Chains A and B, each alone.
Chain A
């Protein structure tokens, strides 16, 4: 069967792309080796952040995405069947705190640069921080509040975007692993071979998260996407004592880092279910998903420094996934430089949920030849910073 576009991957990014393309009138088929949100989008958190970003293309993409997330629930309300769970979109705001003397100055500097770039970043006194979060460690040395930081429940968001795409005529095929390009009569990609048969299309969009490198290879392209492991701790349900997203100031350094070794920082928030999520670690170790207690212990220690009351809380679960990581820390959104008909929408590392909607909009504009809202050059798969990798 033929469609205008095939999207490979039913994660948050693929789902958002499918919805945007279907909304532009294209016939779309989403193929996934597994099920919806069965990959990274079901293994991470749903922070939609500006607080960890600096001036540059990623910030523009993040700000545009936030704007789109803000309007999404309203758009979906009319479209979706009742069985689709709520997005749990909440603009609860983020509070970044430093708990050491050394950490204070860099945090305040970072916030000043962000303000210059247009981010609402408000330095707070310790007393003001404690007003927002009464159980915070009173020994905070610096605090900045980011009212724009928001969150969604990533699996629900993926399912909702996919359901909306289906309502716009898209088709989802699960259990279809892409294994090869269809033998091409021309020099253009005409479709893909999967474990559930062949699918042809004018455009093939690769949104296979951390597996995108492998899939690109089997389609004759090259993309240096690598997995970067992260784990999150989940507590048992507890009385509501954490009201915003709260991070320790190490978080920004960990995101920006290239180190392959283990790095941890605290990202703490309560969920609608009453549990508290405590993330997260960053580590490059391939697709090895064995439990790493060193990471778990470090995350727990840092979180207890931010919220001392957590010492008595119980961790009942840890989970984790593999962030799709590109060496220059920017996603790829646009046409493959070598294989005509192949498009990329991947490599969002630890921000793929947050950036999904802006990514989909930009990709749609490029595929359909509309004038893009955002400058696409920085995200182009042909960019020089990827060539070396």
Chain B
């Protein structure tokens, strides 16, 4: 994330939130999406595809591609780019292996 003091639009001082991503605390700024917090922390991918087991993260950023799905506080299929991060949210990565592990 662009440091606010260097930001030409001069945003107000950020208020921190901390979420638990795959067991590890990650800090972000209040009002950010879960995806934004993870991206700003340097994580580009979090989901693994069902068939080819490939990494995925944000693609469309506006809630239409569903590539960024994560589990938040035990509920699956949450679009990380749409969900606003709340302090203490527990984010887990979804396991999507196909039945029988077949491709």
Chain B count of residues within 8 A CB distance of the other chain: 12
- A272–B95 Cα gap in the complex (Å)? 16
Inter-chain contacts of A100 with B (CB < 8 A): none
Total CB contacts across the A-B interface at under 8 A: 29
Q: Do A312 and B76 touch across chains, with their CB atoms under 8 A apart?
A: yes
**Cβ-closest chain B residue relative to A236:** B77
Per the bound structure, the CA–CA distance linking A271 and B75 in Å amounts to 21
**How far is A313 from B77 in the complex, measured between Cα atoms in Å?**
9
Residues of B within 8 Å of A274, CB to CB, are: 50, 96-99
Expressed in whole angstroms, the Cα–Cα distance for A272 and B96 within the complex equals 12
Closest partner residue, chain A, to B100 (CB atom): A240
CB-based contact A237/B75 at 8 Å: no
CB atoms of B77 and A239 under 8 A apart: no
For B75, the closest partner residue in chain A by CB is A312
- Whether A240 and B75, one on each chain, are in contact in the complex, defined by CB atoms closer than 8 angstroms, is no
Task: Judge whether A237 and B102 touch: CB under 8 Å.
Answer: no
Chain A residues near B98: list those with CB within 8 A: 240, 272-274
Contact A270 B77 (CB under 8 A): no
Closest to A242 in B: B99
Given contacts A314-B76, A314-B77, contact A239 B50 (CB under 8 A): no
Q: Is the CB of B95 within 8 A of A237?
A: no
Q: Whole-angstrom distance from the CB of A249 to the nearest CB of chain B? A: 25
Give the CA-CA distance A273 to B99 in the complex, in Å: 8
Asked whether A24 is an interface residue with its Cβ less than 8 Å from the other chain, the reply is: no
Residues of B within 8 A of A236 (CB): 76-77
Chain B binding surface, main DSSP class: loop
Closest to B96 in A: A237
B-contact 0/1 string along A271-285, CB 8 Å cutoff = 111100000000000
A312-B71 Cα distance, complex, nearest whole Å = 11
Q: Provide the residues of chain A in CB contact with B96, threshold 8 Å.
A: 237, 239, 274
Say whether A218 faces chain B, with CB atoms less than 8 Å apart.
Answer: no
CB contacts under 8 Å to B, within A261-313, are: 270-274, 312-313
Q: Which residues on B sit within 8 Å (CB–CB) of A238?
A: 76
A32 to B100, CA, bound (A): 37
Q: What B residues does A239 contact at CB under 8 A?
A: 95-97
Nearest B residue to A271, CB-CB: B99
- A312–B72 Cα gap in the complex (Å)? 12
Residues of A within 8 A of B76 (CB): 236, 238, 312-314
The CA-CA distance from A236 to B69 in the complex, in Å, is 11
Q: How far is the CA of A240 from the CA of B101 in the complex (A)?
A: 10
CB distance from A146 to the nearest CB of B (A): 20
| Docked CA distance A240–B97 (Å) | 8
**B100 cross-chain contacts in A, Cβ below 8 A:** 240
List B contacts of A271 (CB < 8 A): 99
A273→B76 CA distance, assembly (Å): 17
Q: Which A residues are CB-close (under 8 A) to B50?
A: 237, 274
Residues of B bordering A, CB below 8 Å: 50, 74-77, 95-100, 102
Q: Which 10 A-B pairs have the closest CB atoms?
A: A240-B99, A314-B77, A274-B98, A236-B77, A237-B96, A239-B95, A274-B50, A270-B99, A312-B75, A237-B50
A-B contact pairs, 10 of them (CB 8 A): A236-B77, A238-B76, A239-B96, A240-B99, A273-B98, A274-B98, A274-B99, A312-B74, A313-B76, A314-B77
Known: A237-B50, A240-B99, A312-B76. 13 other contacts (CB 8 A): A236-B76, A237-B96, A239-B95, A239-B97, A240-B98, A240-B100, A270-B99, A272-B98, A272-B99, A274-B96, A274-B98, A312-B74, A312-B75
